[in-house]
Structure 1
Amino acid sequence: MYPRIAVVGCGQWGQNHIRTLAELGALAGAADRHEDRAEAFAKRYDVKALTPEAAIAASDIDALVLALPAAAHGPMARAAFAAGKDVLIEKPIALDPADAEKTAAAARAAGRLLMVGHVVRFHPVFQRLCEIVAEGRIGTVRHMISNRMGLGRFPSMDAVWDLAPHDLSLVLRLANGYPERVICHRRTVLSDTTDIADIMLEFSGGIGAEIHVSRVSPYRDRRFSVIGTEGMLTFDDLAPEGEKLALYAHKVRRAGATFDFDNAPAEFLSTEPGLPLDRELRHFLDCIMTRTEPETGASEAVETVRILSLAAPLSSPDPAD
């Protein structure tokens, strides 16, 4: 039997958590500052409607999913840890590194699990990409390129904070470490905050990464590429099924005083089926039951906020909705 989970925050992404947890048989409550919103989802899924404070205090709730404005994540999570609950927090867990570390420390002190909702990490195509890298099929990883571009998503939050956490999580997973240097170029185009950003990351051992985010692109692009010494991989989330993961056996070699290369056609690789959010929440439930540290745990959550703060310092907290 699964642990009993309440979702706090019934907005756009919270609704996805509510629906998926209900399908898994683990949803026990829906909570929101707007009581009518919580009651509507509670009625639909035959669970309890709660206030956020009641969800934290409820003895028949084992864990929470927090899908709130980022500024509210820390205080709510810390109260939940003190009440003996494990918590999955949607990205980002805070708007400054000190608050993120305070939340991580509270989880450690209470002996509770903190997981951050980097859902793309649980995409079956990305997970297969990681397996291929571990098998050594592209040699040694040297560089990564991540594009997250499209039109829309104009919250008050800077585009770096809104869009880049997903890509940072992918990069950190394959870099097996944290960057020593962060460079970011940002530009406001059509809104009042950053609309476009290019983030460069430098890791020890010569690994580099570049992340490109835009919410004013006339076309959508959701590609993540890994360049190795013996080949390259691309995960294209917008490609048709069966073509989302491509292996390119490209090789660059020294030719006297210069360089030459071999250009190979794409080899499309098979991957498992499955929905990323379903896999993410199953992982959270498994971690609760086995008391295992989540794959996207506290350390990565804090590091992601640190990098975001270096790339795009915020002058004021994110307003609550």
Structure 2
Amino acid sequence: MKRNISVLGAGYWGKNLIRNFSELGALKYVFDYDPKITSEFSKKYDLEIQDLNQILKDEDIEGIVVATPAHSHYEICKLCLEHNKNIFVEKPITLNVEQAEELISISKDKRRILMVGHLLHYHNHFIKFKELISAKKESPLRIVSLRKSLGKIRDNENVLWSFAPHDISMINSIIPGEISNIKKLERSYFNNNQDSVFLSFQKGQNKIFVDIEVDWVEINKIQRISAYFSDEVIVFEDSEPDPGKKLYKLSIPFTKNQLMSKNNSDRSYIKVDQNNPLRSECKHFLDCITNESNPFTDGLEALEVLKYLILLDEA
């Protein structure tokens, strides 16, 4: 494969992107604003060391992967687009709507790809989860999305900005339309940022009930989205280590007079071909460059997520 990718940022998530693009045979450069980190990863993957200006001037580099802190996304992405590079930036696309709209406009004018890392859209279990929902003859009555773990408490962002883009992006793909009737409960245990947030709102033309809970101070890792119907609940349990048990149905009548509980033995597991979502996401970016096609999680999709993220944060 052509070595046409440079990854900017080699931190917590950037190192995973570096590994995947290297294993795909596409990685040419790694750059981090800490020279020691740049040197470390370049040596590890046997890459030539270049500064950012040299990378941007390299005509062989067709794609730049941006895995730097969120506050830097706008300036870095704008610089890369102005040098005619295709962009894959981690979520959130930017921190405000005007900046995101400008990046979308530049990418359109330059005819360059602007892809955002909403990872779960490339997860085969979530893809199947959406297919099961689409096959139903009714809309879901309720969607519940949980993303909780004992994580690193950050000073530069709250748990909503860190975790909820995934949940909002997934829910947007299931239920189109506006958000209304927002209710919010938040807790700050360790600093002035929100460490734990519960959101409840209605979405779309049918006013479907949606609950999102994100939490940095939960001792058990929970990553689950559930769709409630009148005759069953469809569950994508991403925190389940067994791939064969990540997607299942529960035959629980969700009606006023029939609501009842079921135990684990009543789960009907759905067989799904296992994949590596991050590898699929990276491969999708390369395919979009090769085919000059629009990514599934493009700038417009990310802009919609950003608008709702800001709306919910300010509620």
Normalization by structure 2: what TM-score? 0.91
Secondary structure of 1:250's counterpart equals coil
- In the alignment, residue 272 of structure 1 is paired with which amino acid? D
The yes-or-no answer on 1:158 pairing with 2:146 is no
Aligned to 1:284: 285
Task: Give the RMSD, CA atoms, in angstroms.
Answer: 2.0
Aligned to 1:319: none
The yes-or-no answer on 1:246 pairing with 2:248 is yes
Q: Structure 1 CA distance, aligned partners of 2:259 and 2:183?
A: 29
Q: Structure 2 CA distance, aligned partners of 1:273 and 1:171?
A: 22
Contact 1:39 1:49 in 2 (8 A): yes
Secondary structure of 1:49's counterpart equals coil
Instruction: Within 5 Å, give how 1:97-116 maps onto structure 2.
Output: 97-116=97-116
Q: Structure 1 CA distance, aligned partners of 2:32 and 2:166?
A: 25
Aligned to 1:318: none
Instruction: Within 5 Å, give how 1:15-164 maps onto structure 2.
Output: 15-136=15-136, 139-156=138-155, 157-164=157-164
Shift of 1:262: 6.8
Aligned to 2:168: 168
Shift of 1:211: 0.8
Structure 2 stretches of 5 or more lacking a match?
none
Aligned to 2:227: 226
What is the total number of aligned residue pairs between the two structures? 309
Structure 1 stretches of 5 or more lacking a match?
315-321
Aligned to 2:258: 260
Q: Deviations over 1:15-47 (max 9, x none)?
A: 100000000111111011112211221121122
Contact 1:140 1:229 in 2 (8 A): no
The yes-or-no answer on 1:269 pairing with 2:273 is no
Secondary structure of 2:120's counterpart equals helix
Identity between Structure 1 and Structure 2 (%): 27
Aligned to 2:217: 216
Shift of 1:263: 6.3
Q: Structure 2 CA distance, aligned partners of 1:178 and 1:91?
A: 21
Aligned to 1:9: 9
Contact 1:143 1:228 in 2 (8 A): yes
Sort the Cα spacing of 1:47 and 1:33 in 2 relative to 1 into closer, same or farther, 3 A. Answer: same
Q: Which moved more, 1:184-193 or 1:28-37?
A: 184-193
Sort the Cα spacing of 1:289 and 1:190 in 2 relative to 1 into closer, same or farther, 3 A. Answer: same
Contact 1:3 1:285 in 2 (8 A): no
Q: Structure 1 CA distance, aligned partners of 2:306 and 2:123?
A: 22
Q: Structure 2 CA distance, aligned partners of 1:59 and 1:69?
A: 26
Sort the Cα spacing of 1:28 and 1:200 in 2 relative to 1 into closer, same or farther, 3 A. Answer: same
Shift of 1:161: 0.5
Sort the Cα spacing of 1:180 and 1:285 in 2 relative to 1 into closer, same or farther, 3 A. Answer: farther
Q: Structure 1 CA distance, aligned partners of 2:133 and 2:184?
A: 27
Secondary structure of 1:205's counterpart equals coil
Shift of 1:226: 1.1
The yes-or-no answer on 1:187 pairing with 2:187 is yes
Q: Deviations over 1:93-112 (max 9, x none)?
A: 11112222222222112111
Contact 1:182 1:310 in 2 (8 A): no
Normalization by structure 1: what TM-score? 0.90
Contact 2:147 2:222 in 1 (8 A): yes
